Structure 1
Amino acid sequence: MPDEEPRQRGGGLAVVGLWVATRALSMIVLATAERLVVGDVFYYWRKISALGEAGLPGTLREYPTPVVWFLSLPQVAGGSRTGYLVGFIVLMLALDAVLTYALWRAAGRRRDRALDFWLLYVFLVGPLCYTRFDMVPAVLAGGALLAARRRPWLTGALTGLGAAIKLWPALLAGAFAVRWRGRGAMLGAFAGVGFGLAALSLVTGGVSRLFSPLTWQSGRGLQIESVWATPLMVARAVDPGTWEVRYSAFQAYEVFGPGVPALLVVSTAATVVGLLVTAALFVRGFRSPEVSAVGLGLLVLATIAVTTITNKTLSPQYLLWLGGPAAVLLLARGSQGPQWHRSIVRLAVSLLVLALLTQLTYPLLYNGILGRSSRGFMVVSTVVTSLRNLTLLAITVALCRQAWLALRPSRPRVDAA
């Protein structure tokens, strides 16, 4: 992709050195200050270890069936809890390294700001990136966007795989379909992989297990870190006795008290509105005769951001989803002139701020928002979480606006009389 800004000199060794340094530091932080983030990995281990007794239909019903197969891979490192943890982290590091290598290749085998962004973004989100499997959709979405111009079939396959793992990437098929070149190959690969895995899930787990992730999500309450919980969490910091935070049956901390039912209705309405906004962007993209790399990247990011912000649940690892596509978008930052160059760089900086606020929210200040510390600490943690959510809201609005502008349809030509 053309770029007005000269790329930084530095071959593979420089990139490897940066990757090793930042990831080693993340592992040190994980082993010291942020050890609590490994809890989910041990939960996966318990469920996978009991797979023989519970069977596939009764294992990890909150996730699509292919997730069970994927989470069985770390068992290769041994059946022990520690062995599973090591295997899981190594698997996430490997996926991280794959996208890093792909970005380096796409940048002409040189160090580029896109690479620097990915390395720093993951580091700022924190070691949590390696103790949740959200690295998978982040890398798949980034890889799908990277392949969109030359290998649309690969874009479709990666998107279908992402949808089988996390469901929401299915929306990205609509984003990638706005490009007419390779549309058939992309949609064919998406349908082949997505429906193929769905059929395999049906055969191995049954109908109930196939739809269990959807019923699980529909029954969840208002997660304390979600955008829609923010007003109540702020009110709780002022009046802790009125609202309560409890660990629910859905393995998440949720807020209970006045206003929760109303905000759940609002979040449902927001999800519908978000889908309509996304659909409007897709239609605008279809009307554009040629969607640029910038336009497609912004559309993908807007789709992810809208999906994230309108949901009644918002776990910190969800913010990792934005990192892969944002890094790929940075590769095209100079392809449409200085104005778009500046806009994309500003977006990248905003995302880095978002990543840092996310790590502060969880795990560094999490005991405060749970009310396990002093009142002052609760206020500080609530303020930081609110700032994170406001930043995400501002980024989402900016992405939708920029995607709308970048997808401007061509105007009909009017000949002079």
Structure 2
Amino acid sequence: MVEDHEPRRGGAPAVVGLWVLTRALAMVILATGERLVVGDVFYYWRRVSGLVEAGLPGTLREYPTPVVWFLSLPQVAGGGSRTGYLVAFILLMLALDGVLTYALWRSAGRRHDVAIDFWIAYVFLVGPLCYTRFDMVPAVLAGGALLAARRRPWLTGALTGLGAAIKLWPALLAGAFAVRRRGRGQMLGAFVGVGFGLAALSLAAGGASRLFSPLTWQSGRGLQIESVWATPLMIARAFDPERWTVRYSTFQAYEVFGPCVSTLLAVSTAATVVGLLVTVALFARGFANPQVGAVALGLLVLATIAITTITNKTLSPQYLLWLGGPAAALLLSRGSAGPRWHRVLGRLAVQLLVLALLTQLTYPLLYNGLLGRGSSTFAVVSTVVTALRNLSLLVLTVEVCRYAWVALARARA
């Protein structure tokens, strides 16, 4: 997805220096003020350590089977110890972060481009959480798939298939990438080969129950406190904590319980259906256009991810990382997109950076307020910040969908 654009001054040394500085600062923040975010890594370590006893069908059933194999890599590299696993996991996520940074630099003509600055800043603003969850994997795969879409459609399909095997939702991106006629067969062939190939391996290794366990797990989850649909209840709870309670559920997430929860769960289900219909409508508009440009394709990918994120009844903070990789790849198209789209992409980038900062404030900095720990004022402040984050995400999703719809319009003769 390389396009003509105006590069910024400075090459590899500037990029490396900025990346190292921000990542080192992120590690300092992790070690001092945000240590609580490592809890999930220790959870991975416990479950992977018990893989021999529990077997593959009984290990990390909330995730697709290939995730178990992936999360076993830090176990081997870390020598099996708890601390070794943490260090190896963080280094693995840093490596993936570095891979996408390098890919952006290569795609920008080996020059320092604002797209690289955006990715470096976005990850830093989301926070050290990025290195203690494996959501860096689908973010990098989606960004890499978009970068490869113009010249290597087979690679786009392979990366998308791998992403679907890790997190399921990237399967929707195959529909987005398929709107481009050139290389469509290569892309879909690679997607099916990698995605369904890993599904077949998962079936052989863990059985049918283990293959579908992530879907059944997701369907049984409640209303996560950071989700868009929990926002009205969390606002009400900030002023009336007796009527609504927050508890750590059996699904390893904090959920809200009380009046109207079932109603909002039903609303989230309806929103998911509507979001899917909107996504299909965007795909159909793209298929009707014989010449889908880089900006239109990038906006379509971003819209698909944003819709998937916002309509879900669960919205963990690390999900915001999914938007960063494709957004950075999209920014490389701004130079050849014309003045209008140049401004649009710049504005969307700023909105995403604000969204990233609000996400780190929501978790972990103000999270205790959402849990009801501390003063009532702290609870109100944390709830307001989370509501602003969710409102910002909603606004961004609507804008990206609108811009994607316009960009996918078929040019008149």
Fold shared, TM-score > 0.5 on shorter chain: yes
Q: CA deviation at 1:8?
A: 1.2
Contact 1:19 1:119 in 2 (8 A): yes
**What is the DSSP-based 3-state SS (H/G/I as helix, E as strand, rest coil) of the residue aligned with 2:247?**
strand
2:31 maps to amino acid? A
Contact 1:244 1:255 in 2 (8 A): yes
Provide the rounded CA distance (Å) in 1 between the counterparts of 2:407 and 2:17.
Answer: 36
Aligned to 1:168, what secondary structure does the other structure show?
Answer: coil
Maintained 8 Å contact 1:124/1:355: yes
Q: Which amino acid aligns with 2:215?
A: L
Query: Deviations for 1:84-133, whole angstroms, at most 9, x for unmatched residues?
Result: 00000000000000000000001111111000000000000000000000
For the residues of structure 1 that align with 2:263 and 2:302, how far apart are their CA atoms? 29
Q: Which residue in the other structure is 1:276 paired with?
A: 277
Residues 134, 320 of structure 1: 8 Å contact kept: yes
> Per the alignment, in what secondary structure is the counterpart of residue 246 of structure 2?
strand
- Quote the Cα distance in structure 1 between the aligned partners of 2:163 and 2:29: 29
Q: Could you tell me whether the CA contact under 8 Å between 1:285 and 1:291 is conserved in 2?
A: yes
Residue 315 of structure 2: aligned partner? 314
Q: Separation in 1 of the partners of 2:7 and 2:181?
A: 31
1:185 maps to what in 2? 186
Find the aligned partners of 2:342 and 2:305 in 1 and give their Cα distance.
21
What whole-Å deviation, never above 9, does each CA across 1:249-302 have from its counterpart, x for those lacking one?
A: 000000000000000000000000000000000000000110110000000000
CA–CA distance in 2 between the matches of 1:206 and 1:94? 32
Q: Partner of 2:300 in structure 1?
A: 299
TM-score of the aligned structures, taking structure 1 as reference length: 0.98
Match of 1:344 in 2: 345
Paired residue type of 1:40 = D
Which residue does the alignment assign to 1:369?
370
SS in 2 for 1:7: coil
Deviation at 1:9, TM superposition (A): 1.2
Q: Which residue of 2 aligns with 1:26?
A: 26
1: CA distance, partners of 2:370 / 2:123: 23
Alignment RMSD, CA only? 0.7
1:284-322 C-alpha deviation (Å, 9 max, x unpaired):
000011011000000000000000000000000000000
**Aligned pair count?**
411
Give the distance between the partners of 2:394 and 2:55, measured in 1 at CA: 41
Does 1:49 find its partner at 2:26? no
In the alignment, the residues of structure 1 paired with residue 241 and residue 52 of structure 2 have an alpha-carbon distance, to the nearest angstrom, of: 44
Alpha-carbon deviation of 1:336?
Answer: 1.8
Say whether the 8 Å CA contact 1:289–1:410 is kept in structure 2. no
SS of the residue corresponding to residue 334 of structure 1 reads helix
Aligned letter for 2:18? L
1:2-401 equivalence runs, <5 A: 2-3=3-4, 6-75=6-75, 76-401=77-402
- SS for the counterpart of 2:237 is helix
Note the residue ranges of structure 1 that are not aligned, 5 or more in a row.
Answer: none
The CA distance in 1 between the partners of 2:326 and 2:74, in whole Å, is: 26
Distance 1:156 1:193 in 2: 8
TM-aligned CA deviation for residue 3 of structure 1 = 4.5
Distance in 2, Cα, partners of 1:252 & 1:271: 20
CA distance in 1, matches of 2:37, 2:132: 7
* Cα distance in 1 between the residues matched to 2:72 and 2:330: 33
Unaligned residue ranges in structure 2 (runs of 5+): none
**Amino acid across the alignment from 1:238:** F
Q: Which TM-score applies when normalising by structure 2?
A: 0.99
Deviations 1:120-175 (A, max 9, x none): 00000000000000000000000000000000000000000000000000000000
- Counterpart Cα distance in 1 of 2:336 and 2:359: 31
Residues 27 and 127 in structure 1, CA contact (< 8 A), matched pair in contact too:
yes
Q: String of CA shifts for 1:210-251, please: whole Å, max 9, x gaps.
A: 000000000000000000000000000111110000000000
DSSP-derived class of the 2:321 partner: helix
1:410 to partner: Cα distance: 2.9
Deviation at 1:379, TM superposition (A): 0.1
Deviation at 1:334, TM superposition (A): 1.9
Q: Percent identity?
A: 81
